[in-house]
Amino acid sequence: MTTNEKFWIGFGDIHEDLSLVDEIPDLADAAGVIISGDITNRGGIRRASELLEVVFKINPNIYAQIGNMDRPEITSYLDDKGWNIHATGKQLTQDIGIMGVGYSTPTPFMTPSEVPDARLAQWLNQGYEQIKHLPKLILVAHDPPFGSKAADLPSGENVGNRSVLEFIQRVQPDICLTGHIHEAESEDFIGKTKILNPGMLCMGGYVLIRLKGDELEASLMYI
């Protein structure tokens, strides 16, 4: 990485396993660490804080949200720390905004943070309102968009989210960092939006987002 290049590192689906986080190249030098959800395994604030403290000691610039496996109360903790991006937009640079939508639609596993699709759509619009004036956008969606490779099961069934798809089709963010479907590590496009699912962190996948000149670039990387 060149010294004058601004970059961010994103990952998710931690599931209480940060054994590889120290091996992510240049993590301490990133402009921020973006966490897409599933920090814990049905855990609350205490467990999430223990895990995020590990990340904080490496890089204190955290942008995070809960996934369906995290208890809803963790969002208030992230708000208090200034780290939350769920249903919220934040300005990263003069031209770049970041926003997120955590939780997921209902799963067969009755996880702690599941909501109807219409609620995700409301949260997407809520977050976008705060940064829609910025010309570049990073969307962090725990639930991957319907029809993308990021939502493909090994069976061939696609279990993506339609509200996330519709938002991407309408807004066309530059990058969508997603997760939730561990088996669907992939890079894909919906229009001009690059969709990246790095899978579970313990399997070594993460996303490198770079600002090169006036362009945002994102790549799926492996430790």
For residue 217, what are the CA distances in angstroms to 6, 68, 168, 192? 11, 28, 17, 12
pLDDT, tens digit (0-9, with 9 covering 90-100), for 40-75? 999 999 999 999 999 999 999 999 999 999 999 999
**Which pair of structure tokens corresponds to residue 59?**
């890089």
Going by C-alpha positions, the residue among 76, 95, 61 that lies closest to residue 216 is 95
Alpha helices in the chain (DSSP H): 45-58, 74-81, 117-129, 162-171
Q: Whole-model pTM above 0.75?
A: yes
pLDDT, tens digit (0-9, with 9 covering 90-100), for 74-103? 999 999 999 999 999 999 999 999 999 999
Average pLDDT over residues 145-157: 97
Going by C-alpha positions, the residue among 84, 122, 105 that lies closest to residue 180 is 105
Q: Work out the number of other CB atoms within 10 angstroms of the CB of residue 135.
A: 10
CA-only gyration radius of the chain, Å = 16
Going by C-alpha positions, the residue among 112, 10, 22 that lies closest to residue 64 is 10
Distance CA 204, CA 125 (A): 32
Q: How far separated are the first and last CA of the chain, in Å rounded?
A: 16
Q: Is the predicted pLDDT of residue 181 greater than 70, yes or no?
A: yes
Residue 117: CA count within 13 A, CB half-sphere: 12
State residue 34's pLDDT score.
Answer: 99
pLDDT, tens digit (0-9, with 9 covering 90-100), for 182-193? 999 999 999 999
* Interacting residues of 65 by C-beta distance below 8 A, sequence separation 6+: 35, 36, 37, 75, 78, 84, 85, 86, 100, 101, 102, 140, 142
Inter-residue contact 6 to 212 (CB < 8 Å) = no
Q: Work out the number of other CB atoms within 10 angstroms of the CB of residue 20.
A: 16
DSSP secondary structure letter of residue 152:
B
